[in-house]
Structure 1
Amino acid sequence: MIRFLILPVFGLTSVLTSWAAQAGVVYIPEGSAGSVLMVESETGQPIGRIAGVEAVHGLAGAPGIPYLVAGSFTEIDHESAAQTAKPEGVSQADHNAHHAKPAKAAMPTNKGLSLLSVLDAGTGEVLRRIEVPGAVHHTAVSPDGRWAMATHPSGDGVSLIDLSTLEYAGFITTGPTPNYVSFSPDSSRAYVSNTGNGTLSELDLDRRILSRNLLAGEGPEHFVLSRDGATVFVVDAEAGAVLRLDIASGAETATYGFGAELHGLDLSDGEETLFVAVKGADKVAAVDLTSGAVRLQELAPAPYHLTAADGSEILLVSSREEAKIWAIDQASLQVTSEIAVEGEGHQIVVLP
C-alpha cells in the first residue's frame, strides 16, 4: 500500500508505508547543489536540508555515532580556506575553532587542498571544517566512532580524522586513484579501492600503514564488506563485474558479470542478496548469493549510488542523470516512490 502526500516544497511524490519498518534519518548528499537533504525514514518525508557543503560527494556516518563526515570534491587554495565565510551569529573565536588546521608535519605539502566537514547528525550543524590534502571522493566512519577516513583520487591516498578530537590525524598512501573506503567491523582496519592499479588496500590503523594489497580486477570502485568482515564484494566498474573476495586469503571466490558499467552496490539485511546498480544498462540487479541467480529490472536513467536501508524492505538508488532518488521494493525490484533532490544524489547514508 502506498500513501501519497503533497509536499511541493520538498518535491516528494509519494511515501511508502514500508519505510515505517525503520525509524531514523536518510541523508542524501546533493553534489553540485552543495547541500545534504535529510529525509525521515519512518515516513519518507523530507525534514530539512544542510547547506554550505560545497560539491559534497562523500558522506558517511555510523549507528550510534553523533557525527556525519562530508567531503568536498572541489579543491581550493590556501587563501580561500583561510577566508571561509563565518556563519551568521557565530563569534570569530568559535568560527576559528571550527576550522581545524592539521599539524604541518602530518599533512603532505605536495597535494591539493579541500575541506572535510564534520556535521552534527541530529541537527545538521557544521561543527568543524578540517583542511585535507585534495579533493575528497568518498568518506567512511568507523563502527566504534573513533575514526573517519576520506579518499583523495588525485593524491594516491587517504586522510585519517580523529573523531575524538575532530582533528586531522594523518595521510596514508594507498595506490593510484583511490576511490571507495570502508572499515572492518572491529574498526582496526580500513579498506580502500585503488581504481588506478586494480587493488584493494588493507590499512592497519594502529600503525597507520598500508599492510597489504589484494588484487581486485581492472578498475575497482565501490565495494561492500560482509558484517563479519570475512568477505568483500568489489565493483570492477568498467569491466561490468562484481568480484567476491575472501579477505583472509585475498582469493577471488566468485565473479558476477553484467556486461555493462556498474556503480553502487549493497547487501540485504540477511546478506543473502547483493544489489547492484547496472548504470550502463539502465538496470538494477539482485544476486542470490546462495545460487548465483541474477534478477534484473529496468531502471532508467543511469542508476548510480545504491543503499539498502537496514531494517526495512527498501532499496534507495540515485540517478546520475536526473535529480531524484528511487525507493525500490527489494523483493520485486519495482519502483514504489521517488524523492526529488537538488543536484545529484551521491553517497547515501541511513542512520537509525
Structure 2
Amino acid sequence: MNRSRILPAFGLTSALMTAWAAQADTVYIPEGSADSVLMVDSKTGKPIRRIVGVEAVHGLAGAAGTPYLVAGSYSEIDPENTSQTSKPEGVSQADHNAHHSKPAKAVMPKGQGVSLLSVLDAETGEVVRRIEVPGAVHHTAVSPDGRWAMATHPGSGGVSVIDLSTLEYSGFITTGPMPNYVSFSPDSSRAYVSNSGNGTLSELDIEKRILTRNLLAGEGPEHFALSSDGTTAFVADAEAGTVLRLDIASAAVVATYEFGAELHGLDVSDREETLFVAVKGAGQLAAVDLSSGAIRLQQLPPAPYHLTVADGGETIFVSSRDAPIVWVVEPSSLRAISEIGIEGEGHQIVVLP
C-alpha cells in the first residue's frame, strides 16, 4: 500500500512551512514484515524508491557522510544454506553468494543462531554485502566517523561489531540479557547498549572490544538517545512508562519523566531543548521541556512507535505499530501535517542529508 496525503496544517506559519520546504533530507523507513526499506523525500513526503529483498528488516542505521546503511534482520537463517536468502533483482546467484561475508568462527559466539546484516548503498539502495551474524538483529548503529557498525542480538546477549572499512564482521561483545538498542559516543570510541533483561546500560570500548562498565537504568530499558556531547542519555524504561535522564560520567539518574503508559521511541531536538517520546500505550506523542521538565501531550493514535527528528529539527517522523503509516509531525504543536503510507511496519527510521 502506497499513499501520501496532506492533512490540514493546523495554523503553521508561512515561515515554518518555508523552512520545512527549503530542506530536504532522505528518510529511510524499514518496513519489517514487508522485507523492504522505503526511501522518502522529507520535503515532499513522496517515495523515492523501495529497497526490496531485506528480510524482516527491523534495525536500520546510517551516519552523515557515510556511504552505507546497515540493515539487520529479525529472523534467523540456516547457516548451511545461504542460497535461501533474498537475492536482489538483476544479480546472479553466484554474485549474490559472493557478497555474503562469513565471519571467522573464532570470533563468533558458539551455540547461537545465524541472521543476516545487509550493508546497503545509501544513495541507490543496492545491497553491497550481506554479513552473517550470531542471531536475530533488533537494532543497529553506525559510528559518527563511519568506521564501525553494531547490531544488538537479544537472543545472544551481546552485540556484533562490523568494520565498515572492510565490510567484514569484526567481533562480538557480551553486554547482558536481551540487549535492545545501541548508540555510539560522538567521538566513535565508545558505544552504549540497553539491556532490557537486567535494567542496565552497557558502556563499550570499541577498539578493545570490551565492556567497561554497566550503568543502572531502570527495570527494562529499551530505546535511548544520547546528547550531542555524549554526557547524557535519555533512556526509555518502556513498560514502566518512564524516561530516565542519566548522567554518563557519574552514572546517576538526574531526572525522571513519568508518562503512565508503555513507551517506545524517543529523540532529542537539534538544539537539545526538547525530548520527544512515543507513548505507545496511550496513543500519544509527548514533548518534554528539558529545562523545566514540563510535559506536553498530543493524541496520535494508533500506537506511535519509532520516531526520528529531521530537517534541522523542523520535522518529526513517527511510525505506528498498528497501522501502515508514518506521520510527519510539526514539533511545536505535535500535530501530524501529513501521512506517508508504507508496507509492513515502520521500525528504526533513519534520516540522512
The reply to whether TM is greater than 0.5 is yes
2:232 is matched with 231
Q: Contact 1:21–1:311 at 8 Å: present in 2 too? A: no
2:321 is matched with 320
Pairing of 1:248-327 with structure 2 (within 5 A): 248-327=249-328
Deviation at 1:78, TM superposition (A): 1.4
Amino acid at match of 1:171: F
Deviation at 1:267, TM superposition (A): 0.4
1:17-70 CA distance string (max 9 Å, x none): 554242221000000000000001222211100000011000000001000000
- SS class of match (2:96): helix
User: Please, which runs of 5 or more residues in structure 2 have no aligned partner?
Assistant: 10-16
Deviation at 1:93, TM superposition (A): 5.1
1:195-227 CA distance string (max 9 Å, x none): 000000000011000000000000000000000
Task: Specify whether residues 92 and 211 from structure 1 end up closer, same or farther in structure 2 by C-alpha distance, changes over 3 A only.
Answer: same
1:247 is matched with 248
Distance 1:96 1:56 in 2: 19
- SS class of match (1:96): helix
- Tell me the number of residue pairs that the alignment of Structure 1 and Structure 2 aligns: 344
How well do the aligned residues superpose, as a CA RMSD in angstroms? 1.4
Alignment pair present for 1:12 and 2:16: no
Task: Specify whether residues 86 and 331 from structure 1 end up closer, same or farther in structure 2 by C-alpha distance, changes over 3 A only.
Answer: closer
1:97 is matched with 98
Q: Contact 1:21–1:312 at 8 Å: present in 2 too? A: no
Q: Contact 1:22–1:312 at 8 Å: present in 2 too? A: no
Distance 1:92 1:344 in 2: 29
1:69 is matched with 70
1:194 is matched with 195
Distance 1:198 1:21 in 2: 42
Q: Contact 1:283–1:300 at 8 Å: present in 2 too? A: yes
Range 100-109 or range 111-120, more displaced: 100-109
- SS class of match (1:94): helix
Distance 1:351 1:49 in 2: 16
Deviation at 1:83, TM superposition (A): 4.2
- SS class of match (1:186): coil
Normalization by structure 1: what TM-score?
A: 0.95
1:132-159 CA distance string (max 9 Å, x none): 0000000000000000000000110000
1:217 is matched with 218
- SS class of match (1:78): coil
Distance 2:86 2:199 in 1: 40
Task: Specify whether residues 123 and 255 from structure 1 end up closer, same or farther in structure 2 by C-alpha distance, changes over 3 A only.
Answer: same
Distance 1:272 1:79 in 2: 50
1:334 is matched with 335
1:5 is matched with none
Deviation at 1:94, TM superposition (A): 3.2
1:76-123 CA distance string (max 9 Å, x none): 111332543544543555333310010111112211110000000000
Normalization by structure 2: what TM-score?
A: 0.94
- SS class of match (2:81): helix
Amino acid at match of 2:347: H
- SS class of match (2:281): helix
Q: Contact 1:132–1:168 at 8 Å: present in 2 too? A: yes
Percentage of matched positions with identical amino acids: 75
Range 9-18 or range 97-106, more displaced: 9-18
2:54 is matched with 53
Range 304-313 or range 70-79, more displaced: 304-313
Range 85-94 or range 99-108, more displaced: 85-94
Distance 1:177 1:108 in 2: 15
Amino acid at match of 1:210: L
Q: Contact 2:184–2:192 at 8 Å: present in 1 too? A: yes
Task: Specify whether residues 88 and 328 from structure 1 end up closer, same or farther in structure 2 by C-alpha distance, changes over 3 A only.
Answer: closer
